[in-house]
Amino acid sequence: MASSVLHITNGDSTTNRLKKLKYQGDIITWREMLCEGKTTIDVGSEGFWKNRFDFFKNTYQLSKQKFIDLTLKEYRNLCNQKKQDEIVLWFEYDLFCQVNMLAVISWLKRYRNNRKISLICSGKVENSEKLFTLNELSNEQLKNHFDNRLELNQDDIEYADYIWQLYCSDSPLRLEAIHKQTSSSTFAYLEEALKAHLLRFPSTNNGLNSIENFIINTAHNTKLSNKQELVRELLINQETYGFGDSQYFRKIDQLKKLFTSFDPIKLSRVGKKVLDNQMNYYGQIRSDFSYLGGAKKYSYLYVNTTDKLLKITT
């Protein structure tokens, strides 16, 4: 008798693909973006979901009903899946997926202890320098990823849970201290993803982080007619973030004072000064309500000359 399998995927596109290809087993879609907003270590608790809903409501104006329909109902479905012999995780190389992956493994450690857990992470493909998402893989490549999935041992599970705890800490300094030690065959893309996370703290050069600098640099150096074109360009050229269009539209809105026009796209005089590191924009963009994991975004600075974080004392 074939063993039963539970698939936990990174999104609806992967879920739909597995269904279309008739992969055997039940499928749960992990609909979260834990790379944004405050996170706490207790994945799945009432407090955890309340905190996440507050973030989506305040940041993306998501209604309670939509949050329930999209996320909580699927999570409750996951809680009811208890009989499978193997749990297969389908995630990708980018920051968005890697953070979600850590949270799911942390949840599995707590609620599905001693279950066989396997990991599929898309990214590198033979004879190509490009990193591939799951959706970009051919059917044959997808099957090859599945056939060569990695079974997580207890050390792997403990390690992922530990990194998740550090990500949710109110200080990113411990995560910074160990992120270069995360290189492993099991979590091949975690080191780069964590580096991308640390670069999201504001730079000492101009007060913007790597993503914000990426946005204004793209806006200045590419001829673009409107916000939609700018976002499309950002999506095409982003490397390790894996963000969606709604995330970029939000970030552009936060930077709107650095633009004189969005039709066409044009930086303001201040925007150009910030881009050239002739002006520090930290004071104008700072917020006490912006979190990266468990840490306040503006309580730390990324020192570009040393590639290290600095805590701001008040």
Q: Where exactly are the structural domains of the chain?
A: 5-194, 210-311
SS3 readout for the chain: CCCCEEEEECCHHHHHHHHHCCCCCEEEECCCCCCCEECCCCCCCHHHHHHHHHHHHHHHCCCHHHHHHHHHHHHHHHHHCCCCCEEEEEEECCHHHHHHHHHHHHHHHHHCCCCEEEEEEECCCCCCCCCCCHHHCCHHHHHHHHHCCEECCHHHHHHHHHHHHHHCCCCCHHHHHHHHHCCCCCCCCHHHHHHHHHCCCCECCCCCCHHHHHHHHHHHHCCCCCHHHHHHHHHHHCCCCCCCHHHHHHHHHHCHHHEEEECCEEECHHHHHHHCCCCCCHHHHCCCCCEEECEEHHHEEEECCCCEEEECCC
**Strands 291-293 and 265-267, how do they pair?**
unpaired
Fold adopted by 5-194: Dna Topoisomerase Vi A Subunit; Chain: A, domain 2 (3.40.1360)
State the pLDDT at residue 101. 98
Which residues of the chain fall below pLDDT 50? 1
State the pLDDT at residue 2. 52
- Structure tokens belonging to residue 179: 């992120």
Please check whether residue 119 is in contact with residue 89, taking contact to mean a CB–CB distance below 8 angstroms: yes
